[in-house]
Amino acid sequence: MASAAERRELLRAVYHEARGCVACKLHETRTNVVFGAGNADAELMFVGEAPGANEDLQGLPFVGQAGRLLAQLLEEIGMVRDDVFIANTLKCRPPGNRDPYPHELDACRHFLDRQLELIEPTMVCTLGNFATKLLRGEPTGISRIHGQAEVRAIGPRTVRLYPLYHPAAALYTPSTLAMLREDFHRIPEILALGPPAPAVEPAPPVPPPTLAAEQDQLGLF
């Protein structure tokens, strides 16, 4: 098992790999790769959709208005950005902030999986529809499942997955902001549950014993 220092070095190597990534055409229009930022040993990780214009310019996630709201919500639960790790499903900005294409998500997914593996968070909050659908592997929208924690295996790691509205969606909609704030304030109690047990695949059903097997168990042979 890798030490914290070894995991940080491996994470740094993944960052350098992402900086040179040309797996999809987004590399042609990016200013910077937005790998993610924060505590490399964080218990709590946030995963958003994709970088926006400010993120692309600075190379850091959530640095615009949505980022300021996220920082404010963290402060309300007694945390700061340095306590958590923040990343996105895509590491490059889609032109015009359009929705990610499926092949772009596929090309970038291994970076997120490696981040989860090396940071080892206990809890992952997905922010918005794209991150929630991608990490859950299901099409259910955020409006139906926000604020509902569940244990999920995401790539190499089993975590407490907690879907939240994206802060950008709450900036100008008071009702969405109220729901986001209410869900956000439950984060400490979910974190307090500790790491979940690894997800276990259900065992295949055991066929009923044959007559011969039953007789054998009874010592009749």
* Identity at 213, one-letter amino acid code: A
Query: Can you give the residue ranges of every domain in the chain?
Result: 4-199
Q: What are the angstrom distances between the C-alpha of 96 and each of 32, 53, 72, 147, 184?
A: 15, 8, 27, 30, 29
DSSP assignments along 73-96, one per residue:
HHHHTT--GGGSEEEES-SSPPGG
Cα 52 to Cα 57: distance, rounded to the nearest angstrom = 9
Nearest to 84 by CA among 136, 126, 121, 38: 38
pTM of the entire predicted model: 0.88
Cα 54 to Cα 37: distance, rounded to the nearest angstrom = 15
In the 8-state DSSP scheme, what is residue 193? T
With beta carbons less than 8 A apart as the criterion, state whether 154 and 47 touch.
Answer: no
DSSP assignments along 107-145, one per residue:
HHHHHHHHHHHHH--SEEEEESHHHHHHHHTS---HHHH
In the 8-state DSSP scheme, what is residue 25? G
* Identity at 30, one-letter amino acid code: R
Residuewise pLDDT in 10s, the chain (221 residues): 788 899 999 999 999 999 999 999 999 999 999 999 999 999 999 999 999 999 999 999 999 999 999 999 999 999 999 999 999 999 999 999 999 999 999 999 999 999 999 999 999 999 999 999 999 999 999 999 999 999 999 988 999 999 999 999 999 999 999 999 999 999 999 999 999 987 555 445 545 444 444 344 333 33
Beta-ladder partners of 96: none
Give the model's pLDDT for residue 72.
98
With beta carbons less than 8 A apart as the criterion, state whether 61 and 48 touch.
Answer: yes
Give helix 102-119 / helix 129-136 axis angle, nearest 10°.
70
Which CATH code of 3.40.190.10, 3.10.20.30, 3.30.450.20, 3.40.470.10 fits the domain covering 4-199?
Answer: 3.40.470.10
Sign of CA dihedral 63, 64, 67, 69: positive
With beta carbons less than 8 A apart as the criterion, state whether 90 and 49 touch.
Answer: yes
